[in-house]
Each structure stands twice: as C-alpha cells, then as structure tokens.
Structure 1
Amino acid sequence: MARPKSEDKRLALLEAAKVAVAELGLGAATSLIAKKAGVAEGTLFRYFATKDELLNALYLHLKLSLGKTMMENYRPGSSVKERARAVWSGYIDWGLISPAASKAMRQLAVSDKITEETLAQAAQLYPELHELAEACVTSEFFSCGQSAFADAIFFSLAETTMEFASREPNEAGNYKTAGFEVMWRAMTKG
C-alpha cells in the first residue's frame, strides 16, 4: 500500500525547487532538488510525475505567494494607474523579501515549460490582477498579443528596481517610484 502524501514534503519540494531554479535555472537536476528537500529522488516523483509537472506546480505556488503580496494594498475602486502602482510596489516588496522566489518566477514566466492549463489556473488565482494587466498594456508596441514580451520587459524593469533598492535600502521608495513610472510609460499610452 502506498504511503499517503505529506503536504509538508510537497512544500519542501517546492521550496527546494524554487532555490534550485533560482540558483541554476530550469536545468536544475531533480536529484539536487530532492537532496535540498531532504528526500530521495524517487519521493520527488511520487509527488510530481515529471520535472515539468514540478515546474508548473512551482509556478502556481509562486504565483499564489506573489499574488497575496501584490493584493495587500490593491484598492478595486482606485484608478488603473493607482492599482498598477500598488501591484508594482507589492511585486518589488515581494522580490526584496524573497529574492530566490523572484528569480525563479522570472525564469518560469518566460519559459516554454509552463502549460496553457497552468497559465489559466494562475489567471484564476487573482482575476483582478489579470484584468488589470489587460487594462494597463495599451502601448502600440504590445498590442499584437506579445504578452510574453511585455512580461519580460516588466520583469527586467522590476529586477533592476529590486537590484538598486536592495543595494540602497534608504532609497528603495525612490527606486520603486522611478521604476513604476518607467514601466507605466513603457506599457501604456501615458
């Protein structure tokens, strides 16, 4: 009889995958992930049938964590720009608190490993964020369905903002503001 799966082991595997992907990219070996989680490699495959399944689960796990942080100061009745500013600030704060999670998310978000099903599940976690993204990306440069390109630009701007904010914590607020204004102008008509 198969032993029941433990949520603690599943979370340990996701956390280990986060660190491994942040350190080594999507090519991180499952044996290393299992070792970081303190389990045998066979145990990893009891929880996730394939490495791609693990990466998709990690993507959803990180999206859930990120979404919670981004929604903390989200005010549905405020302007699109103010909602976008709240989401941007939440994203930067999340990245500063969890640099490994941020780095892993950036790699997963622009990879071809994340399935359409997983993307649909992620969009359902916080539908208001998905709607906000649709409302924000109004630049003619992104009007032809280039969401992966827009995501990559967003992540690059956010990464630069996080890098400077982490180097100069006393200026973090100024970097968040400047980074947001650059992102806003790039993604929108104004």
Structure 2
Amino acid sequence: MARPKSEDKRNAILAAAVEVIAEQGLGAPTARIAKMAGVAEGTLFTYFENKDELLNALYLALKGELREALVPDFPRNASLRERAQHLWRRYVDWGVANPHKRKVMIVLSASERITDQVRAAGMQAFVETGTLIEHCIASGHLQGHSAAFASAIMGALAETTMDFIVREPTQRDRYLDAGFNAFWNAVAHA
C-alpha cells in the first residue's frame, strides 16, 4: 500500500524549486530540486508526474501566495486611488521581500510550459484586481486599451520600483510613492 503524500514534502519540493529555478532557470535538473528539498528524485515524481506538472503547480502556488499578500486589510470602501495604491504597495513589498519568488514568477509567466488552463486558474485569483484596473482606465489616459495592457505597465513600473528599493532600502517610501504616481498618472482619470 502506498504511503499518503505529505503536504510538508510537497511544500519542500516547491520551495526548493523556487531556489533552484531562480539560480539556474527552467532548465534546472529535477535531481537538484529533489536534493535541495531533501527527498529522492523518485519522491519528487511521486508528487509531480513530470517537470511540467511541477512548474505548473509552482506557478499556481506563487500566484496564490501573491494573492494572499494583496488581500489583507484591502480597503474595499476606499477611493479607487486608495485601493489601487494598496494593491501597489502590497505587490511591491511582496516582490522586494521575495526576490527569488519574484524572479521565478516572471520566468514561469513567460514560459510556454505553463498551460492555458493553469494560467486561467492563476488569474482567477486576481479578478478583483483586474476589475479595479478596468475602472482606473475607463476614462483615463488609456481609455480603450485593455486591462492587460495597463497591468503590463503596472508590472514594468513595479519591477523598476522593486529594483530601486532593493538598491536603496532607506528610500523605500519615496520609490513606492514615485512608482505608484507614475502608474496612476499613466492609467487613471486625466
């Protein structure tokens, strides 16, 4: 009779995958991931049928973690600007605090190995964020453009903000505000 799967082992494999992929990219060997997780390579394949399944599970885990970072204390009744700024600050803070996860999320998001179904599932967690961005652009500078375009602008500005905060942590608040203002001025009401 097969042993029940351990959530701790699964989580250790996912955590190891973050570290190894951040260092070596998507070509990182599963043997290295298993070793860092403290399990046999065969055990890794007990939890994930193949590497693509591991990558897709990791993508969903990271998306879920990011969503959880955005949600606490979300000011649902605040102004559009205040809600957008809340999401901005939480996203940037998550990225600065989790540089390897941030790097891996970027790599996985660009990878063809992530299935359309998994991408859709990952984005389900951000429906409210998408709606917020749509409201921001409805009559602003990007009127007529997609929420995906505005989200890409937000992502690029957030990445730049994160990079500068990492370089100059004492200037965190200054960069957070400047980055958000650049985003807000790009997408919000004119």
TM-score clears 0.5:
yes
The CA deviation at 1:132 is 2.2
Aligned to 2:110: 110
How big is each residue's C-alpha offset from its partner over 1:35-89, in whole Å with a ceiling of 9 and x where there is no partner? 1111111111111112121111111111111111112242112222221111110
Q: TM-score, normalised by structure 1?
A: 0.86
1:176 and 2:172 aligned? no
Match for 2:69: what amino acid?
A: T
In 2: Cα distance, 1:179 partner to 1:107 partner? 23
Q: TM-score, normalised by structure 2?
A: 0.86
The CA deviation at 1:91 is 0.8
> Residues 1-40 of structure 1: matches in 2 within 5 Å?
1-40=1-40
The CA deviation at 1:179 is 1.0
In 2: Cα distance, 1:38 partner to 1:152 partner? 37
Q: 1:142 to 1:72 in 2, by over 3 A?
A: farther
Aligned to 1:75: 75
Structure 2 residue runs without a partner (length 5+):
none
How big is each residue's C-alpha offset from its partner over 1:2-32, in whole Å with a ceiling of 9 and x where there is no partner? 2211000000011111112222222222121
Contact 1:106 1:155 in 2 (8 A): no
Aligned to 1:59: 59
Contact 2:96 2:162 in 1 (8 A): yes
Q: 1:143 to 1:44 in 2, by over 3 A?
A: same
The CA deviation at 1:189 is 5.6
In 2: Cα distance, 1:114 partner to 1:20 partner? 18
SS at match of 1:5: coil
Q: 1:129 to 1:7 in 2, by over 3 A?
A: same
Q: 1:131 to 1:16 in 2, by over 3 A?
A: same
Aligned to 1:167: 167
Contact 2:76 2:83 in 1 (8 A): yes
In 1: Cα distance, 2:144 partner to 2:115 partner? 22
Structure 1 residue runs without a partner (length 5+):
none
Q: 1:91 to 1:36 in 2, by over 3 A?
A: same
Q: 1:154 to 1:28 in 2, by over 3 A?
A: farther
Contact 1:110 1:152 in 2 (8 A): no
Aligned residues: 188
In 2: Cα distance, 1:110 partner to 1:75 partner? 31
